[in-house]
Amino acid sequence: MGLIKRIAPLALAAFLVSGSDVEAKAIDIKSVTVESSAVFEGNRDIKEYVEACSDTKLTNSQVLKWFKVAHEEPGEGFHERATILNCVFHGHLKTKDGRSYAWRLDIGGAGYVFLSDKVNDVIHFRGPQL
């Protein structure tokens, strides 16, 4: 009985902390705006990649659809799980409750929504390649 009394508060605290983290980062996207053409952020000496990236186009509706089908991923180990092709688009989105956030989308299927200017205040998404 004494062990249960000691473990129960720890288990409850872990549950509440992990649950509140998910709640705090969930966003319901209403609209997106693509604000840049595709930019290749890899080795610019590989001209074929730079040219292929610059030919890639995305519309607001394509990006909104991508975020709707993508799923949120934990930040830890995200870049090992995600496909990063270094051809990226940038923009802003609006949530249904009126908030506005910057986003970044790699055509390999990795997306980021930046909740603030803080380094780790970001939601990671994985979805289909574009």
Q: What tens digit of pLDDT does each residue of 19-44 get?
A: 333 333 478 999 999 999 999 999 88
Q: What pTM value is reported for the model? A: 0.77
- The tens digit of pLDDT for each residue in 42-55 reads 988 888 999 999 99
Number of domains present in the structure of the chain: 1
What pLDDT band is residue 105 in, cutting at 50, 70 and 90? very high
Provide the residue range defining the domain that includes 87: 27-126
In a domain, 74, yes or no: yes
Q: Looking at the predicted structure, is the pLDDT value of residue 7 above 60? A: no
Give the pLDDT score at 24. Answer: 39
Asked, for residue 16, whether it belongs to a domain, the answer is no
Locus of tokens 């610019």: 44
Instruction: Quickly list DSSP for 41-96.
Output: -S-TT-HHHHHHHHT----HHHHHHHHHH-EEE-STTHHHHS---SEEEEEEEEET
| pLDDT at 63 (0 to 100) | 98
